[in-house]
Structure 1
Amino acid sequence: MSSKTKQAQKLLLFRLSGARLFGIGTLKIREILPFMRLSKLPHSHPAVIGTATFRGSAVPVIDMAAAVGNPPLTAEEQQKASIIITDIQRQEIGFLVRGVHEIIEADWKHVMPPPKALGDRAFITGLLDVDGDIIQLLDVELLLAKVYPESLVTRDVTLTDVESETLKALNILLVDDSQVARKQLSDVLDSKDISYQVTSNGDEALQILLKNNELGRPIDILVSDIEMPGLDGYELTFNVRDNPALKPPYVILHTSLNSEMSLSYANQVGANEALTKFDAEELLQAMLRGARESG
């Protein structure tokens, strides 16, 4: 592979409660709807304001401002608001926002990681300067985990002794900018006593790959998110495949995007597989396929 096709990365910009702009990738978005009458959901999280009917299905709607700790939209504000229907981690979720601003094209290389001073509970994965405005990219996985904490519970997966020992022998690297996704990935491997390395961005991942290669312990399995600040999962995969000095790992791109386009592009840049987050059984079976191929 001598050249890389560049996939346009688009962001939807919107407002929650003030003038500050937030953004999420458009590949996560199914549709943008004006506010509609919602059906109440009893015993739900306070940020879940009801369900909307979308293409014949009932979709829960979350007041995004309330979910991230801001005042919820008033009944009057809701009438002028929009509902962003998303497809994330195998489920359709609606997010109520004060107003949709615009869709822009963005290069993930220009996305900056959030300041460490914001702490572990910040609901942003990156910052992007657009014409002097700082756009905050929302960590929708963390937001969903707050509203639906049961989604963090990883079901147990049964492995044979041979499968378990096969995975324990691998040098595995996990890469994801979402702390929720890192926890899910780590939990499934920890539960099987499988060792691994983990990092939050593609630039650090590439350095870990090169360092392990130099030490004679090349990475066997690389599991990476797609949308990350700096070096995204597509570019990380391309860089790995395009570096003749690296012993090529088995690359699994792991994404919250339930999108045929994103999965097709993953194959174009050299990924062995692309999985939609999060299914522990699928992940471990993909790693076992990687072990068989590298073995």
Structure 2
Amino acid sequence: MQSSIKPSTTRLELLLFRLNTKQNFGINVLKVKEIIPRPALTQIPHSSPTVVGVAELRGKTVPIIDLALAIGRSGIRAETNAEQKVIIAEFSRSTQGFLVSGVDRIVVRDWNEVLPPPSGAASSFITGVIRMENQLVQLVDVEQVMHQVSDSDVAPQDQLDPALIAKLKDRNILVVDDSTVARNQTCRILDQLGIHHITARDGKEAMALIDTLTRDCDKATDCVPIVISDIEMPEMDGYQLTREIRANPRYQAMYILLHTSLDGKVNAEHARDAGADETLTKFEPDLLTEEVVKGLKQMAP
């Protein structure tokens, strides 16, 4: 399945699907490789309770996750087998299948239509909602789902030179991501490196923070030397954030690292066109550490 949406726009292409009820949920089409009927599944002993089995897909073994169960709902009911589909998704250098009750359609909306999850929302796996045909479509954070299934933390293998840390004591790295799990994983790496950081949920919030944090600095990079940003975000995506930073003479020297779960050379090309210094696929702690150190050495020679 190929997306028709070009990067760096404010448009969002969503695949709508159901989890036992008529309520629609959504996932970004950029993460979807294909949709298949529920295949024959092989059970794997001692796997996560949310993994209903594995399937053979063109010679590759793919874990199949009950998406309803993974986000804290009742598992997909067996009586809906005839309509069940598996959404094959690729991100963060891995392929997995999400079992759903049924697939509805693909819709196109603007990122500015995405609203924060309702206050007190029961599920931490929802990154936002969008109003559509008298109902709120909930956008599922599949990165959070995969983190829950794998139950793994990341840790960098290297530590920073103490002299470099001393130079950075009054500086913050800005981490921008609408996914809570992605922000937390990146921040854990920075914590273990001894680097101060501050976070934002999207590009618009990030620009406001940059304005605030650098207001009293002689040079903006003395306060915010590096920006680590996701690409897909509401309000302002990572490409546009990069362009905004590069267009401002005061900010344009910042080192910008776009950190995305979307695989592929196309994203790297668009990132370079926007002005990013580097693009990395989530979650590769050693590569992220390497790139952060590279950027910091440039910003604090």
Distance 1:174 1:160, change over 3 A: closer
TM-score (norm 2): 0.88
Moved over 6 A (4+): none
CA contact (8 A) 1:89 1:278 kept: yes
**Structure 1 residue 240: deviation in Å?**
1.5
The one of 227, 230, 246 equivalent to 2:232 is: 227
User: Aligned residues, how many?
Assistant: 289
**Structure 1 residue 131: deviation in Å?**
4.1
The equivalent of 2:90 in structure 1 is: 87
The one of 248, 253, 256 equivalent to 1:251 is: 256
Q: Does 1:46 align with 2:45?
A: no
**Structure 1 residue 276: deviation in Å?**
0.5
Deviations 1:200-259 (A, max 9, x none): 222221111111222216221000111122222222222222233434311111111113
Instruction: Name the CA distance, whole Å, in 1 between partners of 2:129 and 2:268.
Output: 25
User: Mapping of 1:6-155 within 5 angstroms?
Assistant: 6=9, 9-118=12-121, 121-150=123-152, 153-155=153-155
Instruction: Name the CA distance, whole Å, in 2 between partners of 1:287 and 1:277.
Output: 14
For 2:157, the aligned partner's letter is V
Distance 1:273 1:167, change over 3 A: farther
Instruction: Name the CA distance, whole Å, in 1 between partners of 2:54 and 2:81.
Output: 14
The equivalent of 2:3 in structure 1 is: none
The one of 284, 293, 301 equivalent to 1:288 is: 293
User: Mapping of 1:174-189 within 5 angstroms?
Assistant: 174-189=175-190
Instruction: Give the superposed CA RMSD.
Output: 2.2
Instruction: Name the CA distance, whole Å, in 1 between partners of 2:45 and 2:194.
Output: 40
Instruction: Name the CA distance, whole Å, in 2 between partners of 1:161 and 1:70.
Output: 46
Find the residue that maps to 1:51 and give its secondary structure.
Answer: strand
The equivalent of 1:240 in structure 2 is: 245
**Structure 1 residue 81: deviation in Å?**
0.6
User: Mapping of 1:149-164 within 5 angstroms?
Assistant: 149-150=151-152, 153-159=153-159, 161=161
**Structure 1 residue 130: deviation in Å?**
2.9
For 1:264, the aligned partner's letter is E
Deviations 1:6-33 (A, max 9, x none): 3753211111111111111111111111
Which stretches in structure 2 are left out of the alignment for 5+ residues? 1-6
Which region of structure 1 is more displaced relative to structure 2, 205-214 or 167-176? 167-176
Instruction: Tell me the percent identity.
Output: 37
**Structure 1 residue 167: deviation in Å?**
7.8
Find the residue that maps to 2:227 and give its secondary structure.
Answer: strand
CA contact (8 A) 2:17 2:25 kept: yes
CA contact (8 A) 2:130 2:137 kept: yes
Find the residue that maps to 1:6 and give its secondary structure.
Answer: coil
The equivalent of 1:196 in structure 2 is: 197
CA contact (8 A) 1:87 1:93 kept: yes
Find the residue that maps to 1:52 and give its secondary structure.
Answer: strand
Distance 1:160 1:234, change over 3 A: closer
Find the residue that maps to 1:96 and give its secondary structure.
Answer: strand
**Structure 1 residue 50: deviation in Å?**
0.4
CA contact (8 A) 2:174 2:227 kept: yes
**Structure 1 residue 51: deviation in Å?**
0.5
Instruction: Name the CA distance, whole Å, in 1 between partners of 2:226 and 2:84.
Output: 44
Instruction: Name the CA distance, whole Å, in 2 between partners of 1:93 and 1:7.
Output: 27
**Structure 1 residue 134: deviation in Å?**
1.9
